[in-house]
Structure formats: C-alpha cells, structure tokens
Structure 1
Amino acid sequence: MKFNKWTLGLAAVGAVSLASAAQAEEKSSTVMTALSSTVLSGYVDTSMQWNIGTGDSHAPAYKYGGSTKADGFNLNAVKVTLEKPLDEAEWAAGYKADLFFGPDANLFPFGLGTSSSGVAISDFAIKQAYVALRAPVGNGLDFKVGVFDSIIGYESTEAGNNPNFTRSWGHTFEPSTQTGVLSTYRINNNVALAAGIANTESAIINSRAFPTVNPLTSGNKAESYKTYMGSIALTAPDNWGFISGSSLYGGVINGFNNAQQANQTSLYVGTTVATPVQGLRVGASYDYEGISQQSDAGGTTPSAYANAVALYTSFQATEKLSLHVRGEYATMSKSLASGFQANNFGVASEMLALTGTVQYDLWKNVISRLEIRWDHALDGSTAFGGTGTPLLNSDTPPGLASTGNRRNSYIIAANVIYKF
C-alpha cells in the first residue's frame, strides 16, 4: 500500500504507526466507495398566484392549495433526495431518503404531516425513507422496507412530475405515504404487480391501529390489525402500433385511517393512452375514498365517501413547449363537505374543475409554466370566496371566520421549479 509523504513523516517520528494508517486508509476507501454510489437530487418549487376577486378565506382546498397560497408569492417546497438505487445484482441492496422542506411539508399529507407524533409542527417532513432490497426470485422480487409513497394515484406529490401545477381533487383524496413493507414484481415488460402491508393507511410514521400512549397515532383496533394494498400495471407491447407504450393501472388500499379514526378503503384506476397524433397523449383517472361507520369511546364516526373523475390531455408542441388540460368532476358526502366548510376550506359536496397549463422550458433544468384554474360548486353552495379571517388553527378566536360568498373560483398561477 502506498502512503503519502505526510503519513510517512509522522510514522518516522512515532506519531502514527503504518499499521493504523493502513487500517484508516482502508476504512476511508470503504466509505468513499459507498458514497460514490449515492445519488443526490431534488428541486426547489416556487409559485406566484392570483385568486381573482375579493376574499380568499375559502380558497379551493385541493392538496397544497388553500388560502395560504392565494394572492402572493410562494415558496412551495424544497426536496432533497439521497439514494443508492438497486443495481443489477441478484441480491442487490440500496436505500432512498426523500426529505421535504417548506410550507408544503406542513400540508403533507393534507395538514397531518408524517411526524411520528401526528402533529405537523415545522416545515419538515420525511416523504420517503426506506431500505431497498432484491431477492433472486424469478425475474427479481424487489422490496421497500420503511416509509414509501402510496401505490395509487395519477398525480404525484412532486408538482414538476405532474402535467399541471395545481393538484386534482382525486389526488387530494388519496393516501400519501405508508410505513411498512412493499414488494414489486415484474412478470414481463408488459405486466407488473405490487403488494404490501403497512401499519395504517394514514401517513403518520410508526402510527398504529391499536391503542398506544399517543391517541393521535393510534386507533381502537386489535394489535394484529394492519393495512393491506395491491396494484397491477399493464403496458401495451411495442408491436401494438401507435398505442404501444400506453398504460392501464389499478390499485387498492384498505386499513385504518388515524385522521378519520375509522376504516378506510381507497380505490384507483388510471390510464394514459398514446394517440395517432404525434406528441398527443390522453389520460383518465378515477379515485374513490370510502370511510366506514366507526364507534368507540369518543362517539360514532359516520360513514362517508369522496370520489373524483379526471380527464387529461397533453400535447408536446415543440421540444420546449407543451400544453396540458385537465377536467374534473368530484363528489363527497355532505357531512364531509360540511366539515371542510366549517374550517374555512373551499370544498363543496359536488364540484367541477377545469385547469389549463402552458409549459415552456426556457432554462436548463428549470420547469416554467403558466396556469389558469376554474372551480365550480355544483351543489348550489357558496363554497368559495369569503372575506373573514380563516380558521387556520385552534388559536384563532371564534367568530372571525366568514362563510363563502361565491360558487366559482378563478386562479391564475405561475410555477417555476429548478430540478437538480
């Protein structure tokens, strides 16, 4: 082994031994080898938003939306990812850690956070943190052990991975993340399966469906009660003409939701289809959330539901320019909608939404887009607008909240994201 001149000089005066230096050099090499395979990535997500009209206390409460984003400049989120992807080895191992910072971390997912205490108290959340493993079973059976993203949904938490900047109502209803074990297996290039088991359906890390010291992270189930999930993904073969590469996906998650303190079933079906027109793709999604009636010492949680249908169209006009349109129809139980409205969230029991986005990637590594969104309350309620003080937390004095005063909400937003 070769040593640098400073090590040899220290050894000559007895400050260090060559044996210890060799051992230290070997440990350093091992650490550097591990670090060299780790990938650092992430993004900084910013936006500017104008809610047309006076009054924002009931701004549409789609995920990562609401009154706090209205009529101003926003830092949405900063994500930092450390990852060692699985290699081609039969017994491959790796890891991934998604660290989520900024105002959106307090809303991930939808105001509950992933904190193991069940309370979002800072602009930080662990979005994912899992060990990745592969076992040589068939084509390779992959596992995620830890905290991982939900297996269902057309859209992602990462705005830059979605066709539109603002999130859909369907994405708002979906679970965000679970703590457990998820296995995936690709039968061939056209069929992939996933199945998993988790503590609960809610995102609170290390939460339980049975009684624990912290009631915010536990329910009233037996200790063996868990959450189960499964999905299937189908991809059209290359020899299917223009439709090749199109996909059909379906998934289900069933378990205990700590936020609702009740059993919940989440269903999702989505498809993305290529067309004969170059650069044009269309998609569709259906989301359903069903909450069963639940009785415990604190009372009875009534049954409730929410579902949403969305249609997507994306057109890649040039290398830099793309156009995206999303239309939505969403409904939910009136009791669920009333609960949102009582806390000054812009939600109606029946809604229609239309979103148009123009994206032009002028700078390298930068996503820049302009978006117009319209939300309409179909149930006749004035779910949007309002000029009072929003009830954002329990410290807000009573009587300051307004009611909505409009059936329509119009939003113009600009979104700039740097991805590294």
Structure 2
Amino acid sequence: MRHLFFLFLLLGFGHLSSAQEAPAPAEAHSASVSLSGYISSSLNLGSGSGPYPYALSPNNRNSFSLDVVALSLRQPLDEWLFDSGFRLDLWLGPDATLLETGNDDTIHIRQSFFDLRIPLFDPRVTGSAQSLDLRFGVFDSPLGYESLDRNSINPHHTRSWGFTIEPTVHTGLLAMYPGVDALVNGESNFLFSLGIANSIDPRINGVPTNPNRKSLLSGFTWLVPDSFGLLSGSAFSAGYINGRTLSGADTVQNLYFAAGLPVISPKWDFALTYDSRMINGEGNDDSVWGAYMKYQLSDKTSLNLRGEVFQEGSRLFSSESAAEQSDGYSLTSTFDYRLSENVISRAEWRWDHTEARVNEHHDTQSWYLSLIYEF
C-alpha cells in the first residue's frame, strides 16, 4: 500500500490515472469505455489570494464556491500485445479557466489523448510484459508531486508553490517504457518517460514565436526493491523539461526531484520534493523545497501536512510586481474525512509568509472547507 501511495504522489499523474489492472491475455476482450468524474465545492473563510496567487488559488474571500465539475471518458490499455486506448477529461465551471488550455470561461479540455501500445516481448512466451507506450495529444506533465485535479488524488485543497512553477499540460507526444501501467501492475519497479511538445505552456495547440523550437520532456520513477534494506519501500522520482513559453524567446528549464521515504509506522507517510525553474539571466532562478507528511488516523480520517520554503529569482506568477518579488515559506494543514464511499470532506488551514510585504502584509492566512463527490 505504501508503494501505491508513493506512486500516486511521485509519478506524473497522467501516467497513473490511466493505469490498469493486471495484464490480460490476448484472447480477452478490450477494456470497456467508462465515465467517471467528481464535483468539488468549497468555502473560503480567509482572505483571497489577492495579487500573490499560487496555482489554482481562489480569488474570493469569505464565500462559497463551485470549484469545478470534472468529467472523464476513457478506455484504458488492456492487453500487453498491440492495443490502444484513449482518455478525454473535461472541466466545467468557474475553475475551468484556471487550466489556461483555451479561451472559454466555462468548459475546458483538461486532457485529451490516445495511447498506442507497442509490445517489445510477448508475456505469454517470456513471462515478462514490457512495451513502449506512445501517448499522443494533450496530457499531464511527466513531472510534479501534485495534480491539477481537485479530487482525492491530491492531499490538499490548495496547491503548492512548487506546483506553481511547474508546467502542467502539454500538447505533443510522450513515450513510456516499460509500459504506462507496469508500476501499478507490479511488472516493473521503474518507469521512464521521454517526450516532445509544442511548448511548456498549457494552451492547447499553442506554439512559441519560433514554431520550430520544441520542448523536451523527461521523467523517471524508481521503486526501491526489498533487497535494498533500509531503503526498501522508498520511491524516487526525477523530471526535467526544457522548452519555451508561447511569447518568450528564452529557454525555460524545469528540474524536479522527489523521494517518498519509509517511516516506522505504516500509518505515516513522508516525502521530500525539490522544484527549480531556471530562466536565462543572472538571478532569475526560482527554487522550492517541500516536505509532505500524512498520518492515517482511521480508515476514514487522515491528517496531511505540507511545508515549503521558496526562493524567488524571476517571478512565481505573471501578475507579480517587482516590489512583490520575495523569498518566503508556507505551511498547510488539511484534515480529511470520508463521509461516505463517494463523498470526501476537508478542512484546511494555510499560512504563507514573505520577506517583502505583499498586499501590505508579510503573512497571509486562509481557511477552507471543501466537499468532493466522486463517481
């Protein structure tokens, strides 16, 4: 179970959200098309993010919000011979515009891709299922600890500063070896991803000023086997992206590391992260160090903590003024209670501190109550 928890938090979410059950024989029928999704609503009891927003931050204060209605239509890869599948995710509602994948304010494409499996070995002959899986279309970035989604896949309602400086969605091609679902199925203890995309911006079909300059995507996740002693049960992930924004002429590099480490009690989970965004020019690099901890109080109840320290070199977000550029740190605490099989309730407190005054304050505190219905 700990390996599975670290998988969801250390591996790119686009991979695991398409993961399947154990490999099926060639004679089995293809996986059926399924519809799933969630509805997220929240109450913000603190101040809005104002001029200093982290990714997906709410702008309203002391108000109720319909965050998003998410719909996902998919047919996953099912066989370890030649196979194909697809996924279409839509966001409806006010938060859809936060994806920045299009211009419409109410409906956005969250993801839209199809997968093609090219088998390298026949598992019926070799006993080993390995393939090269190709993903075409609009998909999640192969790096990052958190996801765009507002459902249970994320431990917190708000997003981290590390997530804020990461690319989120790409339009392009991603190759995965030895199979997008190999980790979850236990067929492999590693997954390597390599891809190419139009840009590092989420705008679908968007291209930089020079359309011949593409963005390079790469990611790697390793589950430490039992033979490594004290490190067994750990999970390590790394990612690197090199590309351009739609309007910029300079190259932007993103570097990501994460480690999920075993602790004494199975009720605890602990992980460390590092994000860096490097832009040409002296003093333009942004860095964020993060620590995540989860304590499972009961089958239905858990406590999640997130601490971050960030050093700002360029801009954490586009609307930031020069006077607001500042180093700082952040702490988030989230109490999670599952009301039923489909309903999750959360109470969250967040505190952000900046060395420079932002919106006339060094400290910003906010409280959130949220309900998520998953189907």
Task: For 1:262-281, list aligned pairs within 5 A.
Answer: 262-281=250-269
Equivalent residue number for residue 154 of structure 2:
162
Q: CA, structure 1 residues 359+57, in 2 after alignment: closer, same or farther (shift >3 Å)? A: closer
How far off its partner does 1:244 sit? 3.9
The 1-side partners of 2:270 and 2:218 are apart by: 25
By how many angstroms is 1:136 displaced?
1.2
Aligned twin of 1:42: 37
Shift, 1:342, TM fit: 3.8
User: For the structure 1 residues 338 and 281, does the alpha-carbon distance in structure 2 shift closer, same or farther, using more than 3 Å as the test?
Assistant: closer
The aligned counterpart of 1:358 is: 335
The equivalent residue for 1:332 is: 312
1:136 equivalent among 119, 123, 126: 119
2: CA distance, partners of 1:50 / 1:270 = 32
Residue equivalent to 1:292: 280
In structure 1, the residue matched to 2:198 is: 199
Question: How big is each residue's C-alpha offset from its partner over 1:275-312, in whole Å with a ceiling of 9 and x where there is no partner?
Answer: 1212101011111112225xxxxxxxx97332211101
CA drift at 1:200: 1.1
Superposed displacement of residue 62, structure 1: 0.9
Aligned amino acid, residue 357 of structure 2: T
What is the CA-CA distance between 1:242 and the residue it aligns to? 7.3
RMSD: 2.4
Q: Which amino acid aligns with 1:326?
A: R
User: Partners in 1 of 2:346 and 2:287 — Cα distance?
Assistant: 28
- Rounded to whole Å, the distance in 2 between the matches of 1:104 and 1:347 is 25
In the aligned structure 1, how far is the partner of 2:222 from the partner of 2:328? 31
Q: 1:340 to 1:375 in 2, by over 3 A?
A: same
Counterpart Cα distance in 2 of 1:281 and 1:326: 12
CA contact 1:340–1:347 (8 Å) conserved in 2? no
Q: CA deviation at 1:69?
A: 3.1
Is the 1:44–1:417 contact (alpha carbons within 8 Å) kept by the matching residues of 2? yes
Query: Which residue of the partner structure matches residue 176 of structure 2?
Result: 184
Instruction: Give the CA deviation at 1:159.
Output: 2.6
CA apart distance, 1:340:
3.1
Structure-2 change in CA distance of 1:106 and 1:347 (3 Å): farther
8 Å contact from structure 1 (residues 368, 414) kept in 2? yes
Deviation at 1:243, TM superposition (A): 5.2
Give the structure 2 partner of residue 175 of structure 1.
Answer: 167
What amino acid sits opposite 1:374 in the alignment?
W
The reply to whether residue 233 of structure 1 matches residue 213 of structure 2 is no
Q: Which of the numbers 336, 353, 357 marks the counterpart of 1:382?
A: 357
Distance 1:348 1:74, change over 3 A: farther
Q: Could you list the per-position Cα deviations for residues 202-236 of structure 1 after superposition, in whole angstroms to 9, with x for gaps in the alignment? A: 11111223xxxxxxxxx1x2x43211111111102
Question: Which residue of the partner structure matches residue 7 of structure 2?
Answer: none
Q: Structure 2 unaligned segments of length 5 or more: list them.
A: 1-28, 122-129, 180-186
1:157 match: secondary structure? coil
DSSP-derived class of the 2:101 partner: coil
Percent identical among aligned pairs is 32
Q: 1: CA distance between counterparts of 2:52 and 2:265?
A: 34
State how far apart, in whole Å, the 2-side matches of 1:172 and 1:339 are. 11
1:351 Cα deviation after fit: 1.6
SS in 1 for 2:350: strand
Separation of aligned partners in 2, 1:185 and 1:191: 9
How has the CA–CA distance of structure 1 residues 303 and 164 changed in structure 2, closer, same or farther, with 3 Å as cutoff?
Answer: same
Which residue of the partner structure matches residue 22 of structure 1?
none
What letter is aligned with 1:102? G
2:235 and 2:287 map into 1 onto residues whose CA distance is: 22
Contact 1:243–1:275, Cα closer than 8 Å, also in 2? no
Count of residues in correspondence between the two structures: 331
* Distance apart, 1:199 and its partner CA: 1.1
Question: Are 1:410 and 2:368 an aligned pair?
Answer: no
Aligned partners of 1:57 and 1:79: how far apart in 2?
A: 23
Tell me how far 1:363 sits from its aligned partner. Answer: 1.9
What is the rounded CA distance, in whole Å, between the counterparts of 1:199 and 1:366 in structure 2? 38
Which 5+ residue runs of structure 1 have no aligned equivalent?
1-32, 210-218, 294-301, 384-403
Q: Deviations over 1:364-412 (max 9, x none)?
A: 211111111100012xx221xxxxxxxxxxxxxxxxxxxx121110111
Write the distance in 2 (CA, Å) between the matches of 1:376 and 1:274.
30
How much does 1:121 deviate? 3.4
Please give the secondary structure, in 1, of the residue aligned with 2:57.
coil
Match of 1:9 in 2: none
Structure 2 counterpart of 1:100, which letter? W
Q: Could you tell me how far 1:324 is from its partner in structure 2?
A: 0.7
Deviation of 1:260 (Å) = 4.2
Distance (whole Å) between structure 1 residues aligned to residue 328 and residue 190 of structure 2: 35
Tell whether the 8 Å contact from 2:286 to 2:316 is kept in structure 1 after alignment: no
Structure number, greater radius of gyration: 1
Inter-partner Cα distance in structure 1 for 2:142 and 2:316? 26
Q: Contact 1:331–1:350 at 8 Å: present in 2 too?
A: yes
* Partner secondary structure for residue 104 of structure 1: helix
For residues 193 and 318 of structure 2, the distance between their equivalents in structure 1, rounded to whole angstroms, comes to 34
Residue identity matched to 2:78 = D
Q: What whole-Å deviation, never above 9, does each CA across 1:235-275 have from its counterpart, x for those lacking one?
A: 02245567544210000011111154532111111111221
Q: 1:355 to 1:260 in 2, by over 3 A?
A: farther
- Once residues 80 and 261 of structure 1 are traced to their aligned partners in structure 2, the CA distance between those partners, rounded to angstroms, is 36
1:70, CA displacement in angstroms? Answer: 2.1
Task: Quote the offset at 1:348 in angstroms.
Answer: 4.2
- 1:135-167: CA deviation from partner (whole Å, max 9, x where unpaired): 012411111111110111001111321111111
Q: Structure 1: how far apart are the matches of 2:272 and 2:344?
A: 24
Which residue of structure 1 aligns with residue 126 of structure 2?
none
Q: Check the 8 A contact 2:51/2:320 in 1, yes or no.
A: no
1:81 shift after superposition: 0.4
Kindly provide the amino acid, as one letter, of the partner of residue 114 in structure 1. T
